[in-house]
Chains A and B, each alone.
Chain A
Amino acid sequence: MTDASPERDAAADGGHEVAHDDHGHDFPGTGSIKRWFVTTNHKDVGILYIVTSLFFLVLGGVLAWLMRIQLFAPRGLGEGILAPVAYNQAVSAHGLLMVFWFLSPFAFGFANYVVPLQLGAKDLAFPRLNALSYWLYLFSGILFGVSFFQGGTFSGGWTMYAPLNVPTFTPDVGASTAVLALVLFVASVTVSSVNFLTTMHRMRAEGLTLRNLPLFSWTILLTAWMMLFAFAALLAALLVLSSDRLLGTTYFAMESPAGALLWTHLFWFFGHPEVYIVFFPALGVMAEVFQTFTGRRIVGRKWFILAMVLVAIQSFAVWMHHMFLTSINLQVKTLFMITTIGISLPFDLMVFALIYTMLKGKIRFTTPFLFVFGALLLFIIGGITGVFLGAVVLDYEFRGTYWVVAHFHYVMVGGVTALVGGLYYWFPKMTGRMYDEFLGKLHFAVYFVGFNLLYFPLFVAWETPRRVFDYAPELAPWHQLATVGGFVLGLSFLIMFYNLFKSAFVGDPAPDNPWEYATTAEWAVSSPPPLENFDGTPTYRNGHLEFLDTGEVAPTEGRSDGPTGAAVSDGGVTASATTAVTADAELPTAEVTEVEGPSHASIWPFVLSAGAFLVLLGLSPLQDAAFPEGMVGAAYATTTVAGGVVTLGSLVAMGLEPFHGPVFEEGEAWPFAGIDNGKVGMWIFLASDVVLFGGFLGAYVFTRVAFGWTGWEPIPSDPIPGLVNTYILLTSSFTVVLALVAAEKKHKWGLVTSLGATFVLGIGFLVNKGLEWQHLFHEGLWLSTNVRASTFFLTTGLHAAHVIAGLVIALYLTARAWRGAYLEDSRSVEYFGLYWHFVDIVWLFLFPLFYIL
């Protein structure tokens, strides 16, 4: 794709079998393998997500089967099919795979496919970043798979509690790889969140205010906001953990004050919103399917939305209920008990709204409806049993028992049930063919029986302790029922795979809207929809969906996919593990001087993700910042370097590639009306970066308080180098402003000089810092010396990684400015400026905290 032509216009492509664009070339049809590697179209990416996530469902499911076989009878050591450590690995990997690599991506497959259609957009705001999210996701999953073959994957449970998660206690290389796989997954999620948020706030059709947004889109909007912040906190936790494992810092080491508690705080600050992140899309599917198959608008729609917004906000204030058995003081615990009970109230409202919608409507029992109806029942059971866990006192009784296991499987797999309903619901839209209704209902029957046979006995046998395969013999019959149920549930998916696979090829052709009363916009276009979704411009200006001929509106130049802010995050963030990944997609596209059709293909997201995969794989055996001795170590080191080259090269290629985002007429864009997509994306990304640094600073403050605030001396005995660096950074912020002014005045040499000055100042910052660190190393201080040194080196190191990422961009901008870029369109310089100022501001917090106080 290096010869990518700017004229990649496949707008006329109405079909799905072959691309027959007039300008005739490189966007292959869906039958071509190549298509799936280069596509940036949201519908293709959605399908890729769904298929991949189902693969991980099977993988996680097989692990669950292994556990259920082991639990068929109470086992002692060496009995059954799993050795103790293998059992621990199976449970941990099952949890991680299902929560991260199956549930959310499955839901985001639908989100990718459906949300732009519901918004009236032709694609997501940043199509290449969307493809990048997918490929990062796939490669992170592969990396996780690799971890099984490096001495065994992580075996400390999906919560990865410290200090078991440090190499002292889990020395396998695979355990590090699993953590790195999660880092890569979080990169994918961050890119995706920024993309969805920008799209959903900026690209809604005229008249489609947030109030009128379809409920599925609403749930995705809220999910994306929660993901943006929650996953940034997880990223902080994972980067600290990676550093503990690979570089030898001692945040979570046993000797560190409150290291174990620090991890639980960081993890659950992410972990509880994650529950809603996983569940909300399922709720959205439920709402859509209920409305369609009861033929009635949901009762209390406004309140339903309000309830969801409340939950989304409150979800960040309940995390300590996972820590009721730790030594947090009672006042705080009581507070969190109240917020936890409180968060169940909006859900009551939602459940009642759904039930009441059914009562008022006229139900048609199709397969999708059966699944979401089943999901509602399961969620009610899961929800009610969870309320008890919210009470501190009952926690003593229930914690660590199968009550908890049964509860969260009812909630989580209840959510899966709704999503499976969603798969049947949107299958005709995606494939253009109907599934077999009889087989669909059969699947539901077997699934529902299997589900309850699997999980209900766990409530009955709730006294079984968690995380061990030994239990009281009299509970064995219940566990045997559960094991049978596990196989019934798992095998029921064979019916679905057979049904959907066969129907995709030979099913009855589906009309535009196979469901009467489905009202959202995806049903107003053909099945499957054309490449660019709508022939005309969708509008709701008269209160209902209409399409305006393209003549009626003058399409403005796609203003999206200029600087693709989101990837910065992941570039900058991954950089703390390896500077090779620091460069990022901030690299702007070629200056757009002519109006062209939108692009749909780029191979670089794939290549970039493959490069990042290699980098992380190569880094996995590091311990105390050193590769192992001998050939193996050399092979890993080579992999890292090769991956770094691929990553950097594909970033530059992506920056240079002419690529045009979707053309759109700005409709409803609250609250970002009139602000460029690229700028909105950059601000949203920076918001997540704030949380990332917040996590690091929070970890520092928490550790220092546990250590004793006043007894903690700053690591650098001399604050002067830090002070000098403060001045250097402030000056460089000034030169960035000058660069923007020069660009706006079309003053080429002013621009080049200012950008060059910024670059030189940044280098000065790094050199000064390097000298300071050298000095500290000579004093005998190292990352692993003590937790004080760890926090100093890692936090300022993360900041330095951000500086390096910024310098790579600055270098790129300077080189292009030299050749005359940015004078017509200075937005790239402006967005870089936002990032750079942010990095400077962070330093203004770090300097006093780490040098003075």
Chain B
Amino acid sequence: MEIHAYEKLWLALALVLIVGFIGTITYGAAGAGIDMIDDKGGTVDPATLDQHPKFGDPGIEQNGENSYDVYVVARQFVFEPGTTEPLRVPAGSTVTFHVTAADVIHGFEVVGTNANTMAIPGQVAEFTVQFEEPGEYGMLCNEYCGSGHHVMEGKIVVMEQEEFDSWYEQQQAQGEAEN
């Protein structure tokens, strides 16, 4: 079969394009080392979240040096924590989020970052991120969740480590005092 030079060029370009796409995607999936949401978060009973050891009193807790767990409950139409009081995290540490919903499906998106997941009742989404610079981020729900959907938002405050530590100690002390 005779193929015109022009056609060969055409085919070659097409192949390069396709291989390029697949390469990009493969790198993104395997090479970039981004942690993906999967089933490791496990399940919870959405009806009894209040009694859950972690989601009963959601918030941040230290689980090692420079390593924290954050429990977030999304419910109509607030993030706990996040909406009534900002969620405070230290800059430069590893933060593992555990996000679930107490009623319908919500979105949990830290605007402008790749911290983004669905909050599904009964399921816990678990993902780890690092906030490099101190600053403030908006947090919002991007799944329809009812009449108050448009006001469902929150705030994340990324603090300097020392500043965070003193705040965190104060919180701990307060918690113990209450107990």
Contact = CB atoms under 8 A, between A and B. Distances in A.
Whether both chains belong to one complex is answered with yes
Interface of A: 77, 84-85, 87-88, 92, 155-157, 161-164, 169-170, 254-255, 257-261, 324-330, 333-334, 337, 341, 344-345, 348, 352, 356, 387-388, 390-394, 396-397, 399-401, 463, 465-470, 472
A214 to B, nearest CB: 26
Given A164-B104, A341-B22, A261 B140 contact: no
Given A326-B118, A329-B38, A341-B22, A254 B46 contact: yes
A372 B104 CA distance: 42
B54 interface: no
A163 B105 contact: yes
Contacts of B47: 254-255
A496 B115 CA distance: 45
B60 interface: no
B29 interface: yes
8 contacts: A170-B146, A255-B46, A255-B47, A326-B37, A328-B38, A399-B142, A400-B142, A467-B149
Interface stretch (B64-72, B85-93, B122-130): B122-130
Listed residue (B17, B39, B109, B150) with the most chain A CB atoms within 10 angstroms of its CB: B150
B104 A169 contact: yes
Contacts, number: 158
Contact of A391 (B28, B116, B120, B147): B28
A676 B141 CA distance: 55
B143 interface: yes
A161 B151 contact: no
Given A164-B145, A327-B38, A400-B109, A344 B140 contact: no
Interface in B24-69: 24-25, 28-29, 32, 34, 36-39, 41, 43, 46-47
B150 A470 contact: yes
Listed residue (B41, B107, B149) with the most chain A CB atoms within 10 angstroms of its CB: B149
B105 A325 contact: no
Counting from the closest, the 5 A-B pairs by CB-CB distance are: A400-B142, A396-B114, A164-B104, A330-B38, A329-B39
Contacts of A87: 150
B150 A469 contact: yes
Interface of B: 7, 10, 14, 17-18, 21-22, 24-25, 28-29, 32, 34, 36-39, 41, 43, 46-47, 103-105, 107, 109, 111-112, 114-118, 120-125, 140-151, 153
A337 B115 CA distance: 20
A162 B121 CA distance: 10
Contacts of B46: 254-255
Contacts of A85: 147
B21 A396 contact: no
B111 A387 contact: no
A85 B151 CA distance: 12
B103 A169 contact: yes
Contacts of A392: 29, 36
B144 to A, nearest CB: 4
A345 B39 contact: no
B111 A327 contact: no
Given A352-B14, A393-B36, A400-B109, A341 B25 contact: yes
A84 B103 contact: no
Contacts of A470: 150, 153
Contacts of B18: 345, 348
Given A333-B36, A348-B18, A77 B150 contact: yes
Contacts of B118: 325-326
Given A77-B150, A330-B38, 20 more contacts: A84-B147, A84-B151, A155-B146, A325-B37, A325-B117, A327-B39, A329-B39, A333-B36, A352-B10, A387-B21, A387-B25, A390-B25, A394-B28, A397-B116, A400-B142, A466-B142, A467-B107, A468-B140, A469-B150, A470-B153
Contact of B144 (A156, A254, A341, A393): A156
Contacts of A162: 105
B146 A164 contact: yes
Contacts of A327: 37-39, 41, 43, 120, 123-125
A255 B48 CA distance: 10
A169 B143 CA distance: 14
A633 to B, nearest CB: 25
A340 to B, nearest CB: 9
B135 to A, nearest CB: 15
A465 B137 CA distance: 14
Given A157-B144, A468-B142, A397 B114 contact: yes
A396 B118 CA distance: 10
A392 B29 CA distance: 7
B116 A325 contact: yes
Contact of A261 (B114, B115, B123): B123
Nearest to B152: A468
A356 B4 CA distance: 13
Nearest to A470: B150
Contacts of A344: 21
A396 B34 contact: yes
Given A164-B104, A348-B18, A463-B112, A326 B29 contact: no
A469 B37 CA distance: 28
A174 to B, nearest CB: 14
Contacts of B38: 327-330, 333
B5 to A, nearest CB: 14
Given A84-B150, A163-B103, A333-B38, A467 B29 contact: no
Given A257-B122, A258-B122, A327-B123, A169 B146 contact: yes
Contacts of B24: 388, 391
Nearest to B47: A255
Contacts of A341: 21-22, 25
Contacts of B36: 330, 333, 392-393
Contacts of B148: 84
A337 B114 CA distance: 18
A399 B109 CA distance: 9
A625 B141 CA distance: 34
Contacts of A469: 150
B152 to A, nearest CB: 9
Contacts of A324: 37
A121 B88 CA distance: 70
Contacts of B141: 468
A170 to B, nearest CB: 8
Nearest to B38: A330
Given A327-B38, A329-B38, A394-B28, A261 B146 contact: no
Contacts of B116: 325, 396-397, 399-400
B119 to A, nearest CB: 10
Nearest to A299: B7
A352 B11 CA distance: 9
A29 to B, nearest CB: 49
A757 to B, nearest CB: 49
A793 B116 CA distance: 39
B149 A163 contact: no
A77 B39 CA distance: 36
Contacts of A88: 144, 147, 149
A476 to B, nearest CB: 16
Nearest to A360: B7
A259 B149 CA distance: 21
Contact of A337 (B21, B29, B111, B117): B29
A344 to B, nearest CB: 7
B32 A467 contact: no
Contacts of A396: 34, 114-117
A412 B141 CA distance: 26
Given A77-B150, A396-B116, A465-B111, A326 B142 contact: no
Nearest to B17: A348
Contacts of B104: 161, 163-164, 169, 254, 260
Contacts of A163: 103-105, 121
Contacts of B149: 84, 88, 467-468
Contacts of B143: 157, 161, 400, 467
B10 A356 contact: yes
